[in-house]
Homo-oligomer: A and B are copies of this chain.
């Protein structure tokens, strides 16, 4: 056995303003590369990590843990070797750990002639998320595996729906390279929310889903509103309000925090608008002295994909 697969493991934007913990979408130009190979030596082995300092011990590596979860369910004593070429920065809020977990299980499944459906791969990848953050969340691994926009309708039982993804949607993402401690990012969120705000939020979730299916870009834009989490978390992100105001003034459909931050996303209709917004955001961040990356990407409707060697 020496079958081998080189893949692109995409970055993802979770929450999407109104859909805290349930919505996510997949990027196309930002992601890791991985080479996954069948090996004659049983067990999962991380053989190479480039671009990041991550553990080689399988049980401490999110790709390793996710792969082991898959193999446990598969029930055969297979040998897997994993090379990770990390391009998504850790702690960026665009699904760095999810890319590794999702990429690994997607490729292994492909090498095994797809014993699992994409939806069935989600719980395996979630094991990687559990290792990374203590919480087996699905809002990044789901879009990485299914592509496009996804909804985690329920966690118990797990019920993930791939939503319709209009073709003309593009993301601008800025990653300010500051460290927001997960503990800070969580501690600002309150366990109780006002019913009025919750109603407002689920009105927007309904509006966003309807907007995606009807390709009503204005409705998508109006629905990208977060009255619960963003007001609390955005204070941890430098220039958030300026970036958001500028993005909206320059035609973005919506703008908000990517995942738990510190990355900020802006959603546009059309690549050109996404590029214009990237230029404006760059100008704002150039004045701060903070290092940052800016990405512009089409929404990737396929998720993980095979790269030519």
Mark A residues whose CB is within 8 Å of B. Answer: 18-23, 151-154, 159, 161, 163-164, 189-196, 198-210, 213-214, 219, 222-223, 228
Closest Cβ–Cβ distance, residue A178 to chain B (whole Å): 25
Assess whether A22 is in contact with B153, with CB atoms less than 8 Å apart. Answer: no
Cβ-defined partner of A152 (8 Å) among B151, B161, B163, B203: B203
A74 nearest CB across to chain B (Å):
27
Contact A22 B199 (CB under 8 A): yes
Q: Are B223 and A153 in contact (CB under 8 A)?
A: yes
CB <8 Å contact, B206 and A23? yes
Q: How far is the CB of A204 from chain B (nearest CB, A)?
A: 6
**From B161, B190, B201, contact of A202 by CB (8 A):** B201
Q: Provide the residues of chain B in CB contact with A189, threshold 8 Å.
A: 195
Q: From residue A264, how far is it (CB to closest CB) to chain B in Å?
A: 22
9 tightest A-B contacts by CB?
A153-B207, A213-B213, A202-B202, A198-B198, A209-B209, A202-B205, A192-B192, A22-B203, A151-B206
How close is A161's CB to chain B, nearest CB, in angstroms? 5
* Subset of 14 A-B contacts with CB under 8 Å: A22-B206, A153-B206, A153-B222, A154-B200, A154-B203, A154-B207, A154-B222, A161-B219, A164-B213, A190-B195, A192-B194, A198-B198, A202-B202, A209-B210
Chain B nearest CB, measured from A239 CB (Å): 27
Instruction: Tell me the complex Cα distance, A213–B164, Å.
Output: 10
Set of chain B residues within 8 Å of A201, measured between Cβ atoms? 198, 202
A222 touches B192 (CB 8 A): no
One of B190, B194, B198, B213 near A210 (C-beta < 8 A): B213
In whole Å, how far is A282's beta carbon from the nearest beta carbon of chain B?
32
A155→B257 CA distance, assembly (Å): 24
Known: A202-B22, A213-B164. A151 touches B195 (CB 8 A): no
Q: Name the B residues within 8 Å of A164 (CB-CB).
A: 213
Q: How long is the Cα–Cα vector from A18 to B164 in the complex, in angstroms?
A: 21
CA distance A231 to B279 in the complex (A): 50
Say yes or no: A193 contacts B204, CB within 8 Å: no
| Contact (Cβ within 8 A) B195 A153 | no
